[in-house]
Amino acid sequence: MDERIVQYEDKMKKTMNNLSEELGSIRAGRANPHVLDKIKVDYYGTPTAIQQVANINVPEPRMLQIQPWEASMVKVIEKAILTSDLGINPTNDGKVIRLLFPELTEERRKDLTKDIKKKGENAKVAIRNIRRDANDSFKKLSKSSDVSEDEIKELEENVQKMTDKFIAEIDKSVEVKSKEIMTV
């Protein structure tokens, strides 16, 4: 692949990875440890991911169990979960924190599906913006150097193919996650 295109492909891959992370953090009525990815706790003055201070497992389909490595972290983790936008009240027995995920209502499922589609659209816009930047840089190339019009056209076609591929991936990811949310 042309080195002039590689940088744009990398940007598109980063956009896809970002979308995957966002979709992974949306809870689908099932317990998924990734819903805790964005929550940080104060660990000796440093904001730290919960996964780095505790074991997280899924003993039941709708329950997450968080077992801190230090007993003093139970209250800190519980407070971080309460102040997050997770919307679940943790319970603890002094050693282990449990998060019980309620069944999603039909209305909530539809809201989440809309949110997923919106995130997908935002990712598509980002991909198209990367394509536009690439095409702009190719046009500048044609004015400033001895690159032929055919080469520019080929670069633009390759970027378009790449754009189409990533947009198809986004559509597939959105569809899979929407189906997962709507499945009771």
Considering its fold, how many domains does the chain have in total?
2
In terms of domains, do 113 and 177 share one? Answer: yes
In terms of domains, do 172 and 117 share one? Answer: yes
Write down which residue in 85, 100, 115 finishes a domain. 100
How many of the other CB atoms lie within 10 Å of CB of 4? 16
What are the tens digits of pLDDT across the range 58-104?
888 888 898 988 888 888 888 888 888 777 788 888 888 898 887 77
Domain that holds residue 178: 3-24+105-182
pLDDT confidence of residue 29:
64
In terms of domains, do 111 and 94 share one? Answer: no
Q: Using CA atoms, how far apart are residues 58 and 7, in angstroms rounded to an integer? A: 39
In terms of domains, do 110 and 20 share one? Answer: yes
Write down which residue in 49, 67, 100 finishes a domain. 100
pTM here is 0.69
Q: What is the dihedral sign for C-alpha 41, 43, 48, 49?
A: negative
DSSP character for 130? H
In terms of domains, do 18 and 54 share one? Answer: no
In terms of domains, do 153 and 172 share one? Answer: yes
**66, containing H or E segment:** strand 63-68
In terms of domains, do 161 and 116 share one? Answer: yes
Residue 49 has pLDDT above 70, yes or no: yes
Burial class (CB in 10 A: 0-12, 13-18, 19+), 92: middle
Write down which residue in 70, 100, 130 finishes a domain. 100
In terms of domains, do 57 and 95 share one? Answer: yes
pLDDT confidence of residue 23:
82
In terms of domains, do 42 and 77 share one? Answer: yes
Q: Using CA atoms, how far apart are residues 6 and 62, in angstroms rounded to an integer? A: 42
Measured torsion, CA atoms of residues 170, 22, 24, 105, in degrees rounded to the nearest 10: -100
State both tokens at 181: 């949310």
Q: Using CA atoms, how far apart are residues 80 and 67, in angstroms rounded to an integer? A: 15
pLDDT confidence of residue 184:
59
**CATH number of domain containing 64:** 3.30.1360.40
pLDDT confidence of residue 36:
81
Per-chain mean pLDDT for the chain: 86
Percent of the chain with pLDDT over 90: 27
In terms of domains, do 125 and 92 share one? Answer: no
